[in-house]
Amino acid sequence: MSLLSPWALLLLALIPPIIALYLFKLRRPDYEVASVYLWQRFVRDVEANAPWQRLRRNLLLLLQILFMLAVIFALVRPATPVAGLAGQSLVLVLDQSASMAARDETNAWGQPLTRLEAARHAAREWVTNLPAEARVTIISGAGGQVDLLTSATQDRGQALAAIEAVQPTALNSDLGPALTLAEAIVAREPQAEIVLLSDGAVQTHEPLTPVRLLPFGRTGDNQAISTLLLTPGPGDPTLFVQISNFSPRATARRLVIEADGLPLAAFDLELPAQGHLEQLIEALPPGAETFEAYLTAAESDPFSLDDRAWLVARIAEPARVTLVTPGNYFVQTALSLLDGQRLGVTVELTTLTPENWSNPAVSPPSADLYIFDRFVPPTLPAGNLFFIAPPQAVPGLFAVNGQVQRPAPDLASSEHPLAQNLALVETQILSTTLISAEGWARPVMAAQGEPDLPLLLAGETNGRRVAVLGFDLHQSDLPLRPAFPLLMANLLSYLAPGSAGLVPSQVAPGAGLVISTPAEPEQARLTWPDGQVQNIETEAGRLSLPPLPAVGLYQLTLAPGSPARFAVNFFNPLESAIAPRPDLALGSEFAPLQDEVAARPPAYREWWRPLAMAALLLLIIEWLVYQRATVRRWWGKLRPFKPARGT
């Protein structure tokens, strides 16, 4: 306990005068009376020679002394050291990512809280304990989005209201823009400090300014539905479900499958620690349009956002694909396996050799997607492009800069549509072409620990989508792994989106959607999973849907009688791995900063407010005691009339 204004203790000198007022003998006038029998108390005063009287017990005196003590100690400003702000400016960054919705925190009464609720409580404590002259900025962010709620305000009420407004999202933990904004603010503020309230599982850049992490989360126990799709079979397609266990111990969960809202199957699963199980459901109901898979509630799973997934099976127009290759069994087989009316995508495949493509007598068919395997045409056709191990550069698209031996592949962007459901663990590559692209492309796969060595680039340029795979599939065991057909399905959905109709069957949380529509409809209706209906205007044959943060089934109606459903699923292994991290292993600037914090003056929690409230309460009680006769009279008037007995 420290006293921030000890000079106020001098006011204790006011207490003796208050006591002295009760010791002075009262001077009363003389009166002649017949008898002093009833006046013995006053007789003692008259008989005393000293000007003082003995101090007697007096409730008013006690209340007045306690009131003075409360006021004096409030002015003294007692305070206890806390891990708070010592400077003049505080920037609070609240993590809104999906993992912050895990319910594994508790309040002071033992009631369960989500991590974000606990973070909001801690943020309120920081703001409440700030010095009166300190400024506070509140920032929230997730999924690469940032929201500046307050900026360098001294209004505590505004800051507290902003903290209460922060709500969880289904977005990933990309806090790069939020921390960049915080760094820009503290660069203009002297003695500023950034405090990040998060569970530590964040994605960001190397920080330029020290950041203090206030961690939340107590457990890593979580199970999730990580994949839900239709796979081809000898006859009808099969529903494929993958359930992942992110807990360090084996867990039993129950999986339920529904088709068009009706029960289809249920399984009791024993999930291995840090592992996953796959479940296949055959003999699907004919004509079923939607499938839902969910895990029943369990106490061992505090994070329920990834316990459900939806799938829309839609008949699609065939994607016209032209494959130009000297011979690639892997690609041809993968594309043929994707061909099925219940898989959300169908393929109309044409295969040519490089010689046939270059033969002027042969007219290549028009296609939605052209795949060039180990071949670069002299003139690029109109349409989306996919290059595999290009032997030379394509001006305006990408450059080729030699060969790299035995790169270890890893996902460079797990949020990219091409990376959905991919796992590249232990995948081997003998050699790859070093490819590079400026501006239009970003890496989807790269060598481990070498982001400047991309293995798969993808992006959009000049109105078309292009992907470039740097290595020859024959120089890798990727085609022999389960990730390969998934990669080919992702490539086809990304590079030939028209094959799934106007509306895709699945959209990532927080992603927007632009759809090319016929010119006739002027307005579309979007029905959210909770039944809310939103009208959306079309412009120039294009329909722009807002970011869709809620998971579930959506329905888009472009014209009367033609609704199209699509799903928003939470397939994010980085967020489903909810194990908290006590620090941010993103560079030395994210260290706990003990040395720097120790060099600053300490921060305190002041207690003058409760003392001032106690003084006010004592003053009210003292007044009620002094006016007790009047209070009794008022109370008697306020009491309801009671009739006399016998009436």
24/284: higher pLDDT: 284
Question: What span, in angstroms and rounded, lies between the C-alpha atoms of 448 and 409?
Answer: 6
Q: What average pLDDT score do residues 345-374 get?
A: 85
What is the amino acid identity at position 541? G
> Which pLDDT belongs to residue 342?
38
Closest CA to 397 of 422, 372, 420, 415: 372
> Which pLDDT belongs to residue 462?
79
599/421: higher pLDDT: 421
Percent of the chain with pLDDT over 70: 81
> Which pLDDT belongs to residue 222?
92
For tokens 């009680």, name the residue: 621
Q: Does the structure show a pLDDT above 90 at 135?
A: no
Closest CA to 572 of 223, 301, 226, 175: 226
3-state class of 67 per DSSP? helix
What is the amino acid identity at position 45? D
**Using H for helix, E for strand and C for coil, what is the string for 224-256?**
EEEEEEEECCCCCCEEEEEEEECCCCCEEEEEE
3-state class of 149 per DSSP? strand
Closest CA to 257 of 230, 233, 275: 230
> Which pLDDT belongs to residue 293?
94
Instruction: Give the model's confidence band at 362: pLDDT under 50 very low, under 70 low, under 90 confident, else very high.
Output: confident
> Which pLDDT belongs to residue 82?
56
Reported as half-sphere exposure (CB side, CA atoms, 13 A), residue 586 has a value of 23
Burial pattern 48-77, b for ≥16 Cβ within 10 A else e, equals eeeeeeeeeeeeebebbebbbbbbbbbbbb
Least confident of 115-119, 272-276, 394-398, 595-599: 595-599
Q: What average pLDDT score do residues 547-564 get?
A: 80
DSSP states along 568-633: E----HHHH-----SS--S-GGGS--HHHHHHSPPEEEE-HHHHHHHHHHHHHHHHHHHTHHHHHH
> Which pLDDT belongs to residue 472?
94
Whether the Cβ atoms of residue 564 and residue 556 lie closer than 8 Å to each other: yes
**pTM reported for the whole predicted model:** 0.60
Percent of the chain with pLDDT over 90: 24
Instruction: Give the model's confidence band at 647: pLDDT under 50 very low, under 70 low, under 90 confident, else very high.
Output: very low
3-state class of 555 per DSSP? strand
Which DSSP helix (H) or strand (E) runs through 91? strand 89-95
Residues 6+ apart with CB under 8 A from 163: 92, 94, 120, 123, 124, 127, 138, 149
87/610: higher pLDDT: 610
Whether the Cβ atoms of residue 487 and residue 436 lie closer than 8 Å to each other: no
21/569: higher pLDDT: 569
Closest CA to 305 of 360, 383, 246, 264: 246
52/550: higher pLDDT: 550
The rounded mean pLDDT for the chain is 80
Whether the Cβ atoms of residue 467 and residue 454 lie closer than 8 Å to each other: no
Least confident of 30-39, 125-134, 313-322: 30-39
Closest CA to 387 of 446, 433, 330: 433
Question: Per-residue pLDDT tens for 614-635?
Answer: 889 988 888 888 888 888 888 7
Instruction: Give the model's confidence band at 310: pLDDT under 50 very low, under 70 low, under 90 confident, else very high.
Output: very high
> Which pLDDT belongs to residue 629?
82
Number of Cβ atoms within 10 Å of the Cβ of 488: 21
Residues 6+ apart with CB under 8 A from 285: 259, 260, 262, 264
Residues 6+ apart with CB under 8 A from 112: 103, 104, 105, 106
Question: What span, in angstroms and rounded, lies between the C-alpha atoms of 81 and 83?
Answer: 7
3-state class of 59 per DSSP? helix
Q: Does the structure show a pLDDT above 90 at 469?
A: yes
Whether the Cβ atoms of residue 213 and residue 200 lie closer than 8 Å to each other: yes
Q: Does the structure show a pLDDT above 80 at 605?
A: no
Question: Per-residue pLDDT tens for 586-596?
Answer: 443 333 433 33
For tokens 């209201």, name the residue: 161
3-state class of 466 per DSSP? strand
Q: Does the structure show a pLDDT above 80 at 542?
A: no
The alpha carbon of residue 636 and the mean position of all alpha carbons in its chain are separated, in whole angstroms, by: 60
Cα–Cα distance list, 199 to 104, 224, 516, 592, 599 (Å): 11, 19, 40, 15, 27
Whether the Cβ atoms of residue 70 and residue 11 lie closer than 8 Å to each other: no
> Which pLDDT belongs to residue 644?
54
Number of Cβ atoms within 10 Å of the Cβ of 272: 12
Whether the Cβ atoms of residue 84 and residue 129 lie closer than 8 Å to each other: yes
Cα dihedral across residues 572, 576, 578, 581: positive or negative:
negative
Q: In the numeric block, which tokens belong to residue 386?
A: 């996919």
157/524: higher pLDDT: 157
Instruction: Give the model's confidence band at 296: pLDDT under 50 very low, under 70 low, under 90 confident, else very high.
Output: very high
213/473: higher pLDDT: 473
DSSP states along 321-356: EEEE-S--HHHHHHHHHH-BTTTTBEEEEEEE-HHH
Which DSSP helix (H) or strand (E) runs through 60? helix 59-76
Q: Does the structure show a pLDDT above 70 at 541?
A: no
Residues 6+ apart with CB under 8 A from 437: 397, 398, 399, 457, 459, 468
Least confident of 59-68, 376-385, 422-431, 492-501: 492-501
Q: Does the structure show a pLDDT above 60 at 454?
A: yes
Question: Per-residue pLDDT tens for 318-357?
Answer: 778 999 999 988 998 888 776 543 344 567 889 999 998 9
Question: Per-residue pLDDT tens for 161-193?
Answer: 999 999 988 888 888 888 888 888 888 776 778
